[in-house]
């Protein structure tokens, strides 16, 4: 992100500087602001972008507090555990190397459930715990196992049922239909997840784990000790049961079938049902929490405090990226780049305005949020345009791949990641293609 940020600023400065050298000054007797020198326009654009970033963050505080408050009610009501029980039969087939009652299974399920509900950072502790438990089953320390590769590929492409943060940003940007990305996000994430699973299964045979060496086996791994039996073997029962016992198979199959059927339903009737989603979601989550014995008011307030903190934490990132993008736009460099790329990408349904989002998303989550915010708040684009829906869908249906791999593999000192990165990037590309396809079908005019 450092290189991206610096490159944008230098390109904008170079473009404005070149135009300044060629500038002949305003016509005699005219001093219109639109006729200011290129460097003056650049300076004004920087100040305006910084001010707009602060205004956007302030507007985001309330919306973020609302959605994270609802998420806290759902979390305390045990919605994660319910989802965990529903998908356990599928998990034991995706991870045949992991015993069904091993703690890694429960941690992976909770991580995926948290990601599906858009809980963001709440999923990270479950993911790190899953990697540590999986490492207890690792025959070659320092090398990713097939289960680790599958888990992280799914993690970076996991199905998102509720992209709460993206909906919040769309609402703060003035969208008339902030939840309209739910059907497009669901379609794109299901498609990318299928691609991730297929890529892992295909590639793992070409990237064997190999034989461990005495030096590798001697590596200190204190994080696996809670998951080991007294004889040093991996204990399948250690701290098991995060997801509880699974529901009967027919219940899980029915739930997965309903999820699959929801895709065409949301595509066909998405515009009709989307205005109902946010009000019904608030009422439904509160009723669910009340039914489960949660003190919904206190839980909501606790989550809302987290939303306030999140909105403030992203303010510096918004200022940085929006100022950089504003410089790029004010300097005229963005117009040149868009014009050069549009002839190739526009016929494919990926406008050049959306390209930075597609390229930056795997690298930097905060940077991608900043680019999306800049696009959604641009008066020439807006959140309810085709480009607005497209960048929102890409944001909601993909993950910060390099960050996830660095954090999760770093937690267990894995340096040889085998085919994990390739599979994750394939999923990212498929997510962009699927986003373009579904947004063109629903929103292109």
Please name every residue paired with 416 in a beta bridge, in sequence order, or none if there are none: 143
Distance (Å, whole) CA 333 – CA 356:
14
pLDDT at residue number 200: 95
- What is the pLDDT, as a whole number, of residue 237? 45
Per-residue pLDDT of the chain (445 residues; tens, 9 = 90+): 566 678 888 988 998 888 888 887 766 555 554 567 888 888 888 888 788 777 767 766 776 677 778 777 877 887 767 766 777 777 888 898 888 777 788 778 778 877 776 666 667 777 888 888 899 888 888 899 999 999 999 988 877 777 877 887 888 888 888 878 888 898 999 899 999 999 999 999 999 888 888 887 877 878 787 776 554 455 444 444 444 566 777 777 787 777 667 656 655 665 566 567 668 878 888 998 899 888 989 988 887 887 676 667 667 766 777 788 778 778 888 777 767 777 787 788 888 888 878 877 887 666 678 788 888 988 888 899 999 999 999 998 888 788 788 878 888 888 888 999 999 999 999 999 999 999 998 887 6
Predicted pLDDT at 240: 40
Please tell me the distance from the alpha carbon of residue 264 to that of residue 123, in angstroms, as a whole number.
Answer: 28
State residue 390's pLDDT score.
94
d(Cα 192, Cα 56) in Å, to the nearest integer? 31
On the 0-12 / 13-18 / 19+ scale of CB atoms within 10 A, 218 is: exposed
From the list 227, 217, 212, 202, the residue with the least C-alpha distance to 146 is 202
Structure tokens at 275: 């205005």
DSSP letter string over 154-214?
HHHH---S--HHHHHHHHHTT-S-GGGGHHHHHHHHHHHHHHHHHHHHHHGGGS---PPPH
Q: Could you report the per-residue pLDDT of 378-405, keeping only the tens digit for each?
A: 888 889 999 999 999 999 888 878 878 8
List of residues 6+ apart from 65 with CB closer than 8 A: 303, 304, 305, 307, 308, 311
Record the pTM: 0.69
- Which residues are 365's β-sheet partners? none
pLDDT tens digits for range 63-102: 667 777 877 787 788 776 776 677 777 788 889 888 877 7
Alpha-carbon distance 400 to 394, whole Å? 11
304: three-class secondary structure by DSSP = helix
d(CA 240, CA 221): 20
pLDDT at residue 231, rounded to an integer: 47
Q: Given this model, what pLDDT does residue 274 score? A: 58
How far is the C-alpha of 224 from the C-alpha of 234, rounded, in Å?
A: 9
Confidence at residue 392, expressed as pLDDT on a 0 to 100 scale? 92
* Selection from 374, 373, 432, 375 nearest residue 399 by Cα: 432
Please tell me the distance from the alpha carbon of residue 46 to that of residue 36, in angstroms, as a whole number. Answer: 15
Per-residue tokens: 300? 């909501």
Nearest-angstrom CA–CA distance, 106 and 167 = 29
Nearest to 190 by CA among 240, 261, 245: 261
């Amino acid at each position: 992100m450092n290189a991206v940020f610096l490159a944008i600023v230098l390109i904008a400065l170079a473009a404005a500087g070149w135009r300044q050298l060629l500038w002949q000054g305003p016509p005699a007797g005219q001093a219109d602001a639109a006729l200011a020198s290129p460097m003056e326009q650049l300076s004004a654009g920087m100040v305006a972008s910084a001010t707009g970033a602060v205004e956007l963050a302030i507007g985001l505080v309330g919306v973020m507090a609302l959605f994270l408050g609802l998420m806290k009610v759902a979390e305390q009501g045990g919605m994660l555990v319910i989802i965990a029980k529903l998908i356990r039969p599928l998990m034991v087939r995706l991870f045949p190397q992991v015993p069904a009652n091993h703690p890694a299974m429960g941690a992976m399920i909770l991580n995926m459930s948290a990601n599906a509900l858009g809980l963001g950072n709440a999923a990270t502790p479950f993911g790190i715990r899953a990697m540590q438990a999986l490492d207890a089953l690792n025959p070659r320390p320092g090398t990713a196992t097939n289960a680790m590769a599958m888990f992280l590929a799914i993690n970076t492409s996991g199905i998102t049922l509720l992209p709460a943060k993206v909906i919040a940003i769309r609402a703060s940007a003035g969208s008339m239909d902030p939840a309209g990305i739910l059907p497009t996000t669901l379609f794109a994430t299901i498609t990318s997840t299928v691609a991730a699973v297929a890529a892992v299964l295909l590639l793992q045979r070409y990237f064997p784990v190999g034989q461990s060496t005495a030096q590798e086996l001697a590596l200190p791994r204190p994080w696996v000790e809670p998951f080991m039996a007294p004889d040093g073997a991996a204990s399948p029962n250690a701290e098991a049961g995060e997801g509880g016992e699974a529901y009967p198979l027919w219940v899980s199959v029915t739930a997965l079938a309903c999820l699959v059927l929801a895709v065409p339903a949301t595509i066909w009737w998405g515009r009709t049902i989307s205005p109902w989603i946010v009000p019904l979601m608030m009422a439904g989550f509160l009723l669910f929490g009340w039914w489960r014995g949660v003190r919904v008011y206190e839980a909501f307030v606790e989550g809302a405090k987290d939303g306030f903190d999140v909105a403030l934490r992203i303010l510096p990132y918004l200022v940085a990226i929006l100022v950089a993008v504003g410089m790029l736009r004010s300097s005229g460099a963005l117009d040149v780049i868009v014009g050069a790329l549009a002839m190739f990408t526009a016929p494919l349904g990926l406008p050049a305005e959306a390209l930075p989002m597609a390229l930056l998303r795997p690298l930097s989550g905060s940077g991608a949020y900043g680019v999306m915010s800049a696009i959604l708040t641009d008066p020439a684009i807006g959140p309810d345009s085709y480009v607005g829906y497209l960048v929102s869908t890409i944001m909601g249906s993909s993950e910060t791949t390099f960050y996830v791999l660095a954090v999760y593999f770093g937690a267990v000192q894995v340096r040889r990641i085998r085919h994990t990165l390739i599979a994750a990037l394939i999923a990212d590309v498929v997510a962009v293609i699927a986003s373009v396809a579904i947004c063109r079908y629903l929103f292109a005019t």
